[in-house]
Chain A
Amino acid sequence: MSCKKYEDKLHSFAIGSLKEAERLELEMHLESCVSCKQEVYDIKRTADFIKANRTVPILPIEMKQNIMASIDLKRYKSADRKNRFELKNWGASMIAAGLIIFALNLSPYTNYYLAKESYLYNIGNEIGKKILLPINNLGQSANTVFGKIIELNGITMRMEESKKGGIQNEL
């Protein structure tokens, strides 16, 4: 019966798959532990016996050809083309969009043009105010004048009517 601490390492040790530090530690332990040493000996003896007495089967020559003939060689071709096409398009679009945004944001002319644009907008506003306001005022003045004229006309007509009425009375 091997030691509990090392029993799960003995098969790995016998086949040579232990890490260096673990192998050295176990080798030191085996120098003083008879049961573990016996177990390792037993494992190696079993392995040697089986290797000496196992039969290595002969691989059929046509194995590879049969397998290749049984699989669908087109299976991953169209999927890859489709994926490549979609990915390419998406990828190109995203990259192009990113570059445009990047260029716009970092372009020294962008701010200049933006500033120019608002300057022009302000000028337009000012011009508008300067032109439209006087015309507005003119329109209002004209309205007032016309109103007065109409009022005057009304008074004149009433005066003439009252004049006509007075002469008839005298007659």
Chain B
Amino acid sequence: MRDEEIVQSILKGNTERFSILIEQYQAKIYSTAYYYTQNQEDARDITQEVFIKAYNSLQGFKHGAAFSTWLYRIAVNRCIDWTRKKKCLTISSFINDEGDEINPLEQLQDNDGSPEDIFLRQALAKEVQEIVGSLPEIYSTVLILYYFEDISPQQIAEILNVPKKTVDTRLFRGKSLLKVKLDNVLYGGECYELQEV
């Protein structure tokens, strides 16, 4: 059953079918929110808010448009709102319910290699993600959607409701800014060769 058919079925009263859409898109929305917030708790909250809003707004979903684009639009708008309210530039320490500090890197998927390799890799990943998150919002948005979520420029344009040419321009400029910042972080500003760690 296509997404649009599931939506129509939900609007006819089969509301339990919304769980199908959640299963299909929760991972992508969650990862997008995570790359924006750099924080799993906030990413979880944002993901839940996005799906609740999507459910309550289903009647506004236009038949003929792609459901994924519509859902991503809600997610990106919510993430942008979050970044405007609370920009996260550094790794924050996390306190659990018992009041103990926890290491967020332990919550991330990475089990290959020695503990040192894992730590270095995760530290670098965090650094890259933070650099992307620190860029101006118009660039970080397109970079996250293109490089982290593998979404095409055309679909990014539909999500953001801007011309495709605007997306391409932002990708160019965003990439240039990212390259400069990565240069500074990884190699102290000298020319660099991007290598796999």
Contact = CB atoms under 8 A, between A and B. Distances in A.
Contacts of B22: 63-64, 67-68
B10 A67 contact: no
Contacts of B16: 73
Interface of B: 10-13, 15-16, 18-19, 22-23, 26-27, 30-31, 34-35, 40, 43-44, 47-48, 51-52, 55-56, 58, 107-110, 121-122, 124-126, 128-129, 146-148, 150, 152-155, 164-165, 167-169, 171-172, 175, 178-179, 194-197
A57 B34 contact: yes
A69 B147 CA distance: 33
Given A56-B108, A68-B18, A46 B175 contact: yes
A62 B97 CA distance: 18
B13 A66 contact: no
Contact of A60 (B31, B44, B169, B171): B44
Contacts of B10: 76
Contacts of B31: 56-57
A44 to B, nearest CB: 10
Contacts of A45: 194
A43 B150 CA distance: 13
Interface stretch (A10-18, A100-108, A111-119, A162-170): A10-18
A46 B179 contact: yes
A71 B125 contact: no
Per DSSP, chain B at the interface is: helix
A7 B11 CA distance: 43
A12 B154 CA distance: 8
A67 B194 CA distance: 40
Nearest to B193: A45
Interface in A1-58: 7-12, 15, 17, 42-43, 45-58
Given A7-B168, A11-B153, A11-B171, A64 B52 contact: no
Interface in A65-121: 66-68, 70-71, 73-77, 80-81
A155 interface: no
A63 B47 contact: yes
A59 interface: yes
